[in-house]
Structure formats: C-alpha cells, structure tokens
Amino acid sequence: MMKTRTIVSLASALTAFGLTGCSSLHYTALPAVGPDPTAQSEAQRHGRLEVYTAYATRTDNQYKLPSAHTDYTVFLDDTWFSKRVHNSRNVDHGRPQLVMLSPGTYNVSAQASAANGATFHIVLPVVIEAGRITKVYLDGQWRPRDLSTSAQLVRLPSGEPVGWSADK
C-alpha cells in the first residue's frame, strides 16, 4: 500500500512539473559533468557553475534584443531543493551567469541545442567542487582544446561534448 502511494505521489509531481511549461522532457543517462581537470583550484569553500544553455532570441515589442542563454534550474541530488537561474549576466553580454554553490552533486534541468540547431530539454548531473568552476556546454558550440582527452569528456548521445567528466 505504501509503495503504491509513493508511486502515485511521484507520478503526480512529475505530471505537475511537466505541465508547468515543459512541452517535452528528455532524460538521458549521462555521466556527471565536473570541473576541467587541468584548471587550477582556488582557495574557496564554494564552487561555481556556468551553464551555456541553448540560445533564445528575446524581443521587446519593437526591438530585437541580442540572443541570450536560456534560463535553467539546479536541483540538489535526491532532494527538492531547487534554484532557478536567470542565465544572462546582462542583455549586452553573451556569457551565462556564474552561480556559486556548495560542493556536492546537483542535477541541471535546461534547454540544450545540438550542432544542427535542434533544441531539446535535458536533465544531467553536475559535480561542484570547492574552489573550482564546473562548465556545462549545452549550446552545441563547444569544442575541447585537446581532442586527445576525449575519454574524459561527457557527450550527448549524438556525440557532442557537453563538459569534462567528473570521474577522474
């Protein structure tokens, strides 16, 4: 009886989530994305997250504003904690927002764009480490500087890299 109630509650929560603006959800079992293994660590208690989501062109009735990265949500692994991220530093700046988070594993729910221009929704795990930046590239434009490290990359099923693997 308890299992049935839990399953019904989970199904209701997922349905409500789906009805709040996501027309289609795509869950793919990807490895966790972590910081660049070659980047230097800083002496800080928190880590940072930078997510290059798909671009959205914004309009203001008469004027076409520059493209900006779409917003996304960060969920703490296995809890209901969430943080909605307005993902542009300002209208004139194409870089995404830099978010400070406590070290741990999170799930990012965001719009991604393939190199062919198709956009889709994805949920993927990220690992935040103290004093380091975890960068996730969901805009279809990132190419790692050293292709010999391809075994250390997390890739979409289409083969496009989205970040460095958290597994070292």
pLDDT of residue 18: 42
What secondary structure does DSSP assign to 7-19, as a single string?
Answer: HHHHHHHHHHHHT
CA 152 – CA 154 distance, rounded (Å): 7
Q: What's residue 28's pLDDT?
A: 56
In sequence order, which residues have a C-beta less than 8 Å from that of residue 7 and are 6 or more positions away? none
The pLDDT score that the predictor gives to residue 149 is 67
CA atoms of 132 and 39, how far apart (whole Å): 8
C-alpha angle 40-55-15 in degrees, rounded to nearest 5: 100
| pLDDT by position in tens, the chain (length 168) | 433 333 333 333 343 344 334 444 454 577 888 888 777 666 678 999 999 998 876 555 555 555 678 899 999 866 677 888 988 755 556 688 899 999 999 999 999 987 777 888 999 999 999 999 999 999 888 888 776 667 789 998 888 899 999 986
CB 50 within 8 A of CB 96: yes
